[in-house]
Amino acid sequence: MSEAEPTVPPAPAPPPDPRVEEFLLHLGGVKGRAALTLRAYRDILVAAALFFKNKPWDRLAPADIKSYLYDMTRRGYARVHIRQHFSALRSFYRYLRREEVVDKSPVEGIQLPKLDKRLPVFLTEDQMASLLEAPLKMPRPPQAPEWTRARDQTLLEVTYTAGLRVSELVGLNVEDIDFRAEMMRVKGKGSKTRLCPLGAPAIEAMQRYFVAVNHPRRGAVFLNKTRKARLTVVAVQQQMKKYLLFCGLDAKFTPHKIRHSFATHLLNNGADLRSVQEMLGHASLSTTQIYTHISLEHLQKSYRNAHPRATRE
């Protein structure tokens, strides 16, 4: 019998970088960044430090940063991923400059590849209607309480009624809902709060859900199946995949596609761009303008189908 090969213990995790940890504390405390954002920044800065072989941050030059970005390009990283790394490094060096750790940032002045312009993917109004009805039609697994039908229909209705991000959806509290005014207070990116409309179907669905689950009417709106904790982002994503498959739609669609559908349907039906910007919580109008391309395509299609002289013989 041959001797078993000795097992190689996993490489120990690098010790925390004091500068990085101070930066993350600053982001979390002063800037109020979310835990997911802080985790992403930590992962990026740890990866960068490994690439630079732990060369001190104050000794890095623009050539080092360019080499790191080129390496990611060579390894096939998407442009959006490269820009995320660059953004984290830029923020980190701005912090180091304010703390007088470095005199000059090696990141400033470096040109990044432009992002490919991609039109948002969205569901048609008929597809959206089918998805909203799916929780009431799809057979429930034995381990899922019956009231989860009402919950899932409500979370889809609420997402669509205001174009919420999934993190905003699961973060909703009962105290944020004003049924009389048909509005809700939503905490968005950067802890910015905005008021969003709550349509009649969403209100009715939420009231049915509250009765079905015997909701305490305080704290988290959307509860997990034990009714003891807030529903998670992952749970919403998993449920939506099931409903998409049930409707014969692409299971790769994410809850964010409902947000895209919300904006597209509003513009297609005559809403003005500034109002859509406010409802989506976009800081810049240019971020919202991408939906106008879809709306223009819809307008051109309607024109070609309706106007007698829109197309050549």
Handedness of CA 131, 165, 290, 277 (dihedral sign): positive
Same domain, 140 and 65: no
Within the chain, residue ranges assigned H as helices are 18-29, 35-51, 62-74, 79-98, 125-137, 148-162, 166-170, 200-213, 233-246, 256-268, 273-280, 285-288, 290-306
Residue stretches of the chain with pLDDT short of 70: 1-14, 31, 113-119, 292-303, 306-313
Residues with a catalytic annotation lie at 165, 189, 256, 259, 282, 291
At 264-310, the pLDDT tens digits run 898 888 888 888 888 888 877 777 777 766 555 655 666 577 656 66
SS3 state at 6: coil
Question: What is the predicted pLDDT for the residue at 3?
Answer: 47
For residue 25, the domain's CATH number is 1.10.150
Cα–Cα nearest to 73, from 305, 65, 304:
65
Residues 222, 279 within the same domain? yes
The answer to whether position 294 is within a domain reads yes
* Same-domain check for residues 143 and 241: yes
Residues 62, 133, single domain; the answer is no
Whether residue 251 is contained in a domain is answered as: yes
Residues spanned by the domain of 296 = 125-303
Which residue is it, tokens 């993350």?
24
Per-residue pLDDT reduced to its tens digit, 183-203: 999 998 877 899 999 999 999
Is residue 4, in this structure, part of any structural domain at all?
A: no
Core vs surface per residue 128-162: b (16+ CB within 10 A) or e: bebbbebbeeeeeeeeeeebbbbbbbbbbbbbbbb
Query: Could you tell me the pTM of the whole model?
Result: 0.63
133 and 258 co-located in one domain: yes
Instruction: Output the six-digit token pair for 52.
Output: 């630079």
Distance between CA atoms of 87 and 190, rounded to whole angstroms?
16
